[in-house]
Amino acid sequence: MEAKTPAESRTILTDLVLPGETNPLNNLFGGELLARMDRAGSIAARRHSRRIVVTASVNHVAFNHMVPLGSVVTVEAKLSRAFNTSMEVVIDVWIEDRESGKRTKANEAIYTFVAVNETGRPVHVPPIIPETNLEKERYEAALRRKQLSLVLAGKMKPAEATELKAIFQ
Ligand SMILES: CC(C)(COP(=O)(O)OP(=O)(O)OC[C@H]1O[C@@H](n2cnc3c(N)ncnc32)[C@H](O)[C@@H]1OP(=O)(O)O)[C@@H](O)C(=O)NCCC(=O)NCCS
């Protein structure tokens, strides 16, 4: 399979925060943001693999800033690494000031998607070649995050998580 770049998977979803999507403080409900990130991430994974993709895990989410009612929210998703059948997607969330248009990073998340065939069995995905320094950093770290996620899910023994253990030594 021919290798692709992270840029080829880049997906941007921009939408408003409407009243039905907020919590009692009139800020965006966390579950709504998770859904928006899942949507953008799955499109990025689909663009890379050109396959049906399913969400395998949410590896990291940080809700750093409240997102007020009426905000314009941009969710930007890009593949950081492709493994055999799984793909890690890094998702950045931005809100923009109504008057100045200045963008502020509000949240970020890392999801793992798996490419599957019509019967739901995992299938191979193309390799990825990171280009920018940030893409290269995210590519390197992705293996450690995959190992951590598998250990937490009980799918890998801690002793086998070689690259993850190395950062504590
Ligand atoms: C995700 C799913 C396809 C994995 O199936 P599986 O039988 O565990 O398949 P495998 O063990 O071969 O794993 C497939 C890949 O997923 C990765 N994976 C599985 N669980 C993972 C986890 N918790 N974190 C990170 N990666 C994970 C594996 O490492 C493997 O990656 P690789 O092939 O790139 O090395 C399967 O569990 C599934 O269909 N889950 C439901 C998905 C879904 O419905 N999502 C929406 C939630 S409502």
Average pLDDT, the chain: 96
Kindly state whether residue 108 falls inside one of the protein's structural domains. yes
Confidence of residue 35 (pLDDT cuts 50, 70, 90): very high
Enumerate residues lining ligand 1, CB below 6 A: 54-57, 83-86, 112, 114, 116, 120, 122, 146, 149-150, 153, 155
Give yes or no for residue 167 having a pLDDT over 90.
no
For ligand 1, atom 46, the nearest C-alpha belongs to 55
Q: What is the pLDDT at residue 98? A: 85
Q: State which residues form the domain around 19.
A: 6-130
Higher pLDDT pick, 43 / 167: 43
Identify whether 112 is part of a domain. yes
Give the model confidence (pLDDT) of 73-108 as tens digits.
999 999 999 999 999 999 999 999 888 999 999 999
What's 72's domain CATH number?
3.10.129.10
Residue 135 in domain: no
Residue with CA at minimum distance from ligand 1 atom 17: 86
pLDDT of residue 7: 98
CA 55 → CA 34, 66, 99, 103, distances in Å? 12, 25, 36, 28
156 within domain boundaries? no
**Overall number of domains in the chain:** 1
pLDDT in tens, 103-131: 999 999 999 999 999 999 999 999 999 99
Domain-located, residue 89: yes
Q: Which of 69, 89, 121, 98 is nearest to 9 (CA)?
A: 89
Give the ligand 1 atom nearest the CA of 121: 3
Predicted pLDDT at 82: 98
**Is 123 domain-assigned?**
yes
Closest CA to 161 of 169, 153, 146: 146
